[in-house]
Structure 1
Amino acid sequence: MRLLPAAGLGLATALVLLQLLQAIVPTAMAYAVGVLVSTLTAGQPPLGPVTLVVALLLAGQVGWLLLEAVQTYTARRVDGVIRARVRSVAAGLPGLDVLESAAFQDRAARAVDPGMGVARERSAGNAVTGQVTLVFRMVSAVAAATLLATFSPPLALALLVVSLGVRAVLRRQWMAIIDRLDADTAGQRYEYYVSTQAVMGAAKDVRLFGLSDFFGGRFRAAAVRTYGPVWRSLLGVLRRQWWIGAVVTLAAAAALGFPAAAVLRGDLEPGGLITVVLAGVGVLSISQMGMEAYDIEYGLRGLDAADELAAMSPRASRPAPAKAARHAPEVRFTDVVFTYPGGDRPILDGLTLTLRAGETVAVVGENGAGKTTLVKLLAGLYAPDSGTITVDGAGPRVRRPPVTVLFQDFVRYPASVRDNVTAAVPPPHDDAAVREALARAGASGLPEDLSASLWPEGTDGTDLSGGQWQRVALARALYAAGRGRRLLVLDEPTANLDVRAEAAFHEQVVAGARDTTTVLISHRLGTVRAAHRIILLRDGRVAEDGTHEELLAHGGDYARFFTTQAAAFHGGER
């Protein structure tokens, strides 16, 4: 209930008033219908009672229609607050180690659950509206019991106690199923991932290789594995419901039988019979488990998950935001050791390296040598197990370095050309600088209008080839470097380009980088010859360091790798 004000005072007030109307109308209707029947049996003009019944009927229907909309809007507003909280926590984490952990992923999935699954919505917003609904269902039951007590206080008290007792038992039985659903959050995420891949991620492969049955089978298997225990629990609960049905039947018989006997004795008129019976039905209605009970229970767990996420992100550990650099920074790695969470061996093991301000350094090595890991530590995405990393004297976990990184698996934003280039830096933006960055990246064949959408699924959207998307991503990195992010990292930036285009890229981009410390990672050694220095990593350390000519003269691994690649390339040319 403490989340209700998050929807806004006006919306919260409207929700409470509409729920109060829905709580009062049934009891008022029971009284009004009884008066109408008494008036008709007495032969009196029924205009007043008819007007009252019609007014209550209309009020109930209009209130119900408004309540549906207000409940939905309230729930979504509260959900927005929770999602914003989760976003803030995720964005404020100092690195990826916590973000990528199973504990964080499970809690994040619970906190922002969209409501997919078996009879559930874990949304905190639905829990808020469900709690308000339950409060006023209780108010309605008490109001009906009060009206029934005008006929028989013992009957009213007995029906209320039985109804609440049945509800408590039902809640205990059905809520145990929620534990089953929460037991396999990873399975629910996998089910969602498979369905998303089949529709978007692997759509071309599905058509080309006929993988519809493959994905359908995976989805069904995931659903059975995840929800099979839930379905078995549902059947078990249903088998234990027989005695509850018997108790409710006896209570309903009492609600009908005692007033009927009073009518036969002449102690109750027909109008009073209608009022008493409808009031009894109103009391018994609280015994039913509405969906609000599930909404509350699931939403509480989602809210608990959001609170746990906040506890996993202490504010004191968040690094200060990056500031635009006036000059190229110097980077130092000193005896850095790092092992990925859950790993059994260090990826970097005693790495010591200095990147001087303004120079271009190529980092090469075999797969698994630690090239991309070096970049992630430099950017502050992970913290080293031991050793230090500084950028102009400050650690990445203390102050974000002015870095822009282009990873091999770069992001294709469903946005305009301008937004795809300027996404890494805050506004204002300069279209002339955007076009210059695109030109330096060698991007061609793009829409002339920078506002043109690069979302292929949109009505007027345009898709690009792999090479064009890579050029746009390069332009994004270059634009950010020109706006003060003067530590430029290009991690396999030319993977989708041919050899000649790659060579042209390095001549155009790397050689043209002004007042920027540039780290270039590549497997194709022929394209890094223009770098000021070339670093070869082996076993998580710097094995060789020098210019292209110096490393060839040294005759080590770099020379062997370069000679092998050059021979393969020239052989292919012949």
Structure 2
Amino acid sequence: MRLLRLLPGRGGGLVLALLQGVRAVMPALTAVAVGRLVTALFQDGGVRAAAEAAIVVAGLVLVDQVAWLMITPVRTLVVKRIDGGLRARMRELALGLPGLDVLERGDVQDRLARAVDPGMGIARERSAGNAAVGQLELVFRVISAVAAAAVLATFSVVLAVVLLAAALGMRAVLRRQWMRIIDKLDADTAGQRYEYYVASQAVMGAAKDVRLYGLSDWFAGRFRAAAVRTYGPVWREMLGVLRRQWAIVGGSLLMGAAVLAAPAVAVLDGRLEPGRLITYVLAGFGVLAISAMGMEAYDIEYGLRGLADADALVEAYGNKQARPGSEPAAEAPGVTLENVVFRYPGAVAPVLDGLTLTIAPGEVVAVVGENGAGKTTLVKLLTGLYRPESGHIAVGGVEPGVRRPAATVLFQDFVRYPASLRENVTGGAGGDDADVREALRQAGGDELPADLDTLLWREGEAGTDLSGGQWQRVALARALYAVGTGRRLLVLDEPTANLDVRAEASFHERVVAQVRDTTTILISHRLSTVRFADRIVVLHDGQVAEDGDHDALMALGGRYAEFFTTQAEAFRA
């Protein structure tokens, strides 16, 4: 019932039910029609009756075939509608979660993967839509068996009842045996994701390395190992089930013999007309058809489990409302962190341990430190993607965990959208082309395509791919465009990582110095890009180790001076 309630009440759902209903009664009607045709053929002078019966049989076959042809597109439409609705619910739920820490939990990822998994596995495609449609198919398969049993009951009620009960019993046994395979598959959802990751990397992600270093066999070995580790228990369970099928085979042979023998004996005894033999034989096999498990059984079981995971996620997190984003800010916000402690799930040591920092509105502050010092983590805390374990954070006087700040961030792993140059800058928000071009100019995008409609997608036939430095300028322009729309907290995380030396040297004058009425946080390992900041903050052991401008920190002779001198010596050499 849970699955049937997913079916749309109008349009596709009703049409699909009607088509399934037509096909459900066809075995019983065909058995009766064929029986009458055979009877008419044995009657003297029954040419007209035989012709009429033949027309009825042909009409039934035609209707059945038309219904079968129409079911496929209608079924696809209904499945996509149900799955689309479920995915929309899961997206809304994910957006309403308090932070990325919940999404990054293994149990949540497994539940989400099972709830919206469109991928193929062994004998299934997990989908709530397929499960709902499969449940509808099963309902009408049972109706079909009952209708065929009703026809058979006109010959023998006992045979019809015994046959129907035995067929349903065999189906129950088969289902219980084969559904154990799904338990084995669901036991390693992470393994299935890893297998897909290895396969996609071998084809696209690491295509250059595969050819340059001859990694084809290495990837193939990794894929085989992942497949064996993930599906080995499934294959062993399948072999075990196959070895236990002798009783089912014997029962099927016995029931088939009963269907053939009982009407045949009645014909030989003269209790049944020869023409009626075919009616009851066809009706009997129509009853036995329910004993066979079709693909709908797997669709139902897989979909139910995915739906149960979706229900569990809704129950656990569905009452959480998405945090509202701040309205465009008219002025730059101040930033305050007081005794902030944060550690990633499962980690022993905190990344930030009592961090205290204040940034004045409109100030340009650079944050530097060794790898793992917590620089990017600090950005995610300021933007509300994570919540601190303890301490207090405020951006513009508001806690990021309560309302997302009007911030824009250029992350190290910025996204390369397969869209036009304009959409890569605006993020699909629209806007005036003059503003887009100004953002590209500020980002130093002189070498980028002049046509804003240029498709930036290397797989596209008319698409254009960019170099690493050009992509970084596009991402930087996206951040600067967002500043122009009122996002007055600008965070640039390694903004010159893909730029050449000349572009890096002019980064401050060309980019940072042109940003007005904005609080800017600049994170970089290349200290030549941060030396002009109003303040430079050095992170160490999760705390602020040094704080001051470039000249003051160089005079201090501490960590910053050591970092800067080491980099400068490399260029002097």
Q: Deviations over 1:47-102 (max 9, x none)?
A: 22111111100000111111122112211211111111112222222211011111
Q: Residue 36 of structure 1 corresponds to which residue in structure 2?
A: 37
1:56 aligns with 2:60: yes
Counterpart in the other structure of 1:520: 522
**Do the aligned partners of residues 115 and 548 (structure 1) sit closer, same or farther apart at CA in structure 2, a change above 3 Å counting?**
closer
Report the CA distance between 1:5 and its aligned residue.
5.2
Pick aligned residue for 2:567 from 557, 565, 568: 565
CA contact 1:359–1:516 (8 Å) conserved in 2:
yes
Describe the superposition over 1:235-277 as per-residue Cα deviations: whole angstroms up to 9, x where unpaired. 1001111011111111111111010000001111122111011
* 2:563 aligned partner, one-letter code: F
Deviation at 1:428, TM superposition (A): 3.8
Partner of residue 174, structure 1:
178
What secondary structure is seen at the aligned counterpart in 2 of 1:411? coil
- Alignment match, 2:465: 463
Distance 1:534 1:314 in 2: 42
Helix, strand or coil at the partner of 2:217: helix
Indicate yes or no: 2:406 matched with 1:405: no
Equivalence map 1:79-94=2 (5 Å): 79-94=83-98
Q: Does 1:211 align with 2:212?
A: no
Q: Which residue pairs with 1:22 in the alignment?
A: 23
Q: 1:263 aligns with which of 255, 267, 289?
A: 267
Q: Residue 20 and residue 200 in structure 1: after superposition, are their counterparts in 2 closer, same or farther (change >3 A)?
A: same
Q: What amino acid is the match of 1:133?
A: E
Query: 445, 448, 460: which one pairs with 2:447?
Result: 445
Shift of 1:551: 1.2
Whole-Å separation in 1 of the counterparts to 2:9 and 2:484: 43
- Of 321, 330, 335, 1:326 maps to 330
CA deviation digits over 1:472-492, x for unaligned, max 9?
000000000111111000011
Alignment check: 8 A CA contact 1:151 1:276 kept:
yes
Larger mean CA deviation between 309-318 and 98-107 belongs to 309-318
1:280 aligned to which of 273, 278, 284? 284
Q: Distance in 1 between matches of 2:277 and 2:565?
A: 101
Alignment partner for residue 550 of structure 1, among 546, 549, 552? 552
TM-score normalised to the size of structure 1? 0.97
Deviation of residue 6 (structure 1)?
A: 5.1
* Structure 2 letter corresponding to 1:313: Y
**1:343 aligned residue:** 347
The answer to whether the Cα contact below 8 Å between 1:325 and 1:484 also exists between their aligned partners in 2 is yes
The equivalences for 1:376-387 within 5 A come to 376-387=380-391
Q: CA RMSD in A?
A: 1.2
Q: Is the 8 A contact 2:334 2:519 kept in 1?
A: yes
SS at match of 1:9: coil
For 1:356 and 1:302, the matched residues in 2 are separated by 49
Q: Which residue of 1 aligns with 2:301?
A: 297
Letter paired with 1:319: R
Contact 1:5 1:12 in 2 (8 A): no
Q: How many angstroms does 1:317 deviate by?
A: 5.7
1:239 counterpart (238, 243, 256)? 243
The reply on whether 1:531 has 2:501 as its aligned counterpart is no
- Amino acid corresponding to residue 62 of structure 1 in structure 2: V
Q: Which moved more, 1:112-121 or 1:312-321?
A: 312-321
Match of 1:511, SS?
Answer: helix
Q: Which ranges of structure 2 fall in alignment gaps of 5 or more residues?
A: none
- Would the alpha carbon gap of residues 497 and 8 (structure 1) be closer, same or farther in structure 2, given more than 3 Å must change? farther
Which of 140, 147, 153 pairs up with 1:143? 147
Whole-angstrom CA distance in 1 between matches of 2:51 and 2:7? 45
- 1:398 shift after superposition: 0.3
Select the residue among 141, 158, 161 that pairs with 1:157.
Answer: 161
User: Aligned partner of 2:392: which letter?
Assistant: T
Counterpart for residue 249 of structure 1: 253
Residue type of the alignment partner of 1:536 = V
Distance in 2, Cα, partners of 1:150 & 1:370: 80
Give the match's secondary structure for 1:51: helix
Give yes or no for contact 1:337–1:348 (8 Å, CA) kept in 2.
yes
The one-letter code sitting in structure 1 at the alignment partner of 2:460 is G
4+ long deviations beyond 6 Å: none
Q: Residues 318 and 398 of structure 1 are in contact (CA less than 8 Å); yes or no, is this contact kept in structure 2?
A: no
In 1, Cα distance between equivalents of 2:249 and 2:557: 87
Q: Matches of 1:25 and 1:369 in 2, distance apart?
A: 71
Q: CA deviation at 1:312?
A: 3.6
Residue 47 of structure 1 is aligned with which of 47, 51, 73?
51
Structure-2 separation of matches of 1:445 and 1:274: 80
Show CA shifts across 1:385-417 (max 9, x none): 100000111110100001100011111110000
1:221-232 aligned within 5 A: 221-232=225-236
User: What displacement does 1:499 show?
Assistant: 2.9
395-404 vs 321-330, greater mean Cα deviation? 321-330
CA contact (8 A) 1:362 1:531 kept: yes
One-letter identity of the residue aligned with 2:396: D
Q: Tell me how many residue pairs correspond in the alignment.
A: 569
- Kept after mapping to 1: 8 A contact 2:6/2:132: no
Among 200, 203, 206, the residue aligned to 2:204: 200
Distance 1:525 1:170 in 2: 68
Secondary structure of 1:376's counterpart equals helix
Report the CA distance between 1:2 and its aligned residue.
4.8
CA contact (8 A) 1:318 1:397 kept: no
Check if 1:421 corresponds to 2:434: no
Is 1:115–1:123's contact at 8 Å kept on the other side of the alignment? no
Q: What TM-score, normalized by structure 2, do the two folds share? A: 0.97
